[in-house]
């Protein structure tokens, strides 16, 4: 069970969190450098939206695995 915890911790803290931060920065940069171009601004907004949606899926997946793990331990 420790290996599963180590893998989940690695995926969340070492991959998903920095990737989300990078994508938020990319989206913000796209929006700031749009210079009035609505297409570029909307592309940056879409990048931000998908970064937040993706990170929320990661959080939900972590919560689901915690619930499953606690249910399996109690039985």
pLDDT, tens digit, 9 for 90 and up, residues 21-72 = 999 999 999 999 999 999 999 999 999 999 999 999 988 888 888 888 888 8
Query: What per-residue confidence (pLDDT) applies to 1?
Result: 58
Domain that holds residue 15: 2-74
b/e 34-49 (16+ beta carbons within 10 angstroms → b): beeeeeebeebeebbe
Mean pLDDT of the region 4-15: 80
**What is the model's pTM?**
0.79
Quote the CA–CA distance of 6 and 59 in Å, as a whole number. Answer: 16
Query: What per-residue confidence (pLDDT) applies to 2?
Result: 73
Quote the CA–CA distance of 48 and 64 in Å, as a whole number. Answer: 24
Domain count, the chain: 1
């Amino acid at each position: 069970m420790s290996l599963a915890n180590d893998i989940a911790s690695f995926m969340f803290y070492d991959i998903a969190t920095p990737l989300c931060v990078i994508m938020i920065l990319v989206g913000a940069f796209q929006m700031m450098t749009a210079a009035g171009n609505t297409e570029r601004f909307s592309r940056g907004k879409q990048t931000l939206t998908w970064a937040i949606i993706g990170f929320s899926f990661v959080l939900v997946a972590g919560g689901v695995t915690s619930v499953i793990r606690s249910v399996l331990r109690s039985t």
